[in-house]
Amino acid sequence: MSTTIAQRLYELRRAHGISQEDLARKLGVSRQAVSKWECGESVPGTDNLIALARLYGVELDALLGIGRDAESGGEAPAPAASSSDDVAKGPNAADGPAEPPASPNRRRALIAIACGALAVLLALILLYCVRANTPDYIVIEGTVVASDGVFGDFVVDMGYTEQFPSRYIVCSADSTTTYDYNVPDEPVNAGGADESVPASREPIELQEGWRVSVSFDVRGGVEWPQARNLADSIQIETELA
């Protein structure tokens, strides 16, 4: 691991007043692992890099110290002037002196940039995988077993399922909740065209025994289920006669 990255991890931890033991406890790793990172003996994994960046409030490239070497390191020394004898002996003397080798600081900066780019790529892949496997909506189906009014709460009995630990979900509705009836399309005019019942925001007083399908918006990492779960839409499948 680049000594620049190790030094950056050390500086950030000291700047935030966190001990190695406290940092290890926050990340769920051993203190020895933190010590190895700061000594340059090992590299934090992608998950730990993301966690460190969030903890210190910096971007990944800043965490990895990308560009620090290039900015702080001195310029590469100019090549020594060739003597007249050397110029005479060189097979390509007429083409000018050869380019100087890359400086150690430049090599370290290039390695740091490559490591940072790889870490960013892995982080983007991880975020994409998490996002791709995170639903935007959760839908439950069941029977209304309790309701306290138009704008109040209602309880849905889903039965026993492997997806949820409890068979009962406490739901709530507000002015943003839409209502719909799941009825088959039927001809409603002489032309024989079908017309579905449109969804409406007009509240419907749910009755015990009704079969419903309830959708919950969990975009943005909304935790679900909660004590009360706001319904995005309620579809009434069947009603009591």
Amino acid at 79: P
Q: Is residue 91 part of a domain?
A: no
Burial class for 88, CB neighbours closer than 10 Å (0-12, 13-18, 19+): exposed
Amino acid at 87: V
Q: Is residue 88 part of a domain?
A: no
**pLDDT at res. 2:** 58
**pLDDT at res. 123:** 85
pTM of the entire predicted model:
0.39
The pLDDT profile of the chain, 241 residues, written as one tens digit per residue, is 556 778 888 888 899 899 999 998 989 999 999 898 888 888 888 888 888 888 888 887 777 766 544 444 444 444 444 444 444 444 444 444 555 555 788 888 889 899 999 999 888 888 776 666 667 888 989 999 988 765 568 899 998 888 777 888 989 888 888 888 765 444 444 444 445 556 777 778 888 889 999 999 988 777 888 878 888 998 888 765 4
Please check whether residues 114 and 162 belong to one and the same domain. no
Please check whether residues 7 and 124 belong to one and the same domain. yes
Amino acid at 85: D
CATH number, position 46: 1.10.260.40
Give me the helix-helix angle, 46-56 and 3-15, nearest 10°: 40
Task: List Cβ neighbours of 226 (8 Å cut-off, separation of 6 or more).
Answer: none
Amino acid at 225: P
Please check whether residues 141 and 125 belong to one and the same domain. no
By the 8 A CB rule, do 38 and 10 touch? yes
How many domains does the structure of the chain reveal? 2
**pLDDT at res. 142:** 92
- Give φ, ψ of 167 to 5 degrees: -85, -15
Give the position of tokens 């630990």: 165
**pLDDT at res. 90:** 46
Distance CA 229, CA 170 (A): 6
Which residue range forms the structural domain that includes residue 211? 137-238
Please check whether residues 141 and 199 belong to one and the same domain. yes
**pLDDT at res. 211:** 92
By the 8 A CB rule, do 207 and 147 touch? yes
By the 8 A CB rule, do 83 and 90 touch? no
Distance CA 237, CA 140 (A): 12
End-to-end CA distance of the chain: 72
Please check whether residues 17 and 116 belong to one and the same domain. yes
Q: Is residue 85 part of a domain?
A: no
**pLDDT at res. 156:** 92
Judge if the upstream peptide bond of residue 225 is cis by omega within 30 degrees of 0.
yes
Distance CA 5, CA 69 (A): 10
SS3 content of the chain, % helix, strand, coil (to 5): 35, 20, 45
Please check whether residues 121 and 178 belong to one and the same domain. no
Q: Is residue 89 part of a domain?
A: no
Please check whether residues 71 and 127 belong to one and the same domain. yes
Please check whether residues 13 and 68 belong to one and the same domain. yes
Q: Is residue 200 part of a domain?
A: yes
Amino acid at 69: D
Q: Is residue 23 part of a domain?
A: yes
CATH number, position 233: 2.40.50
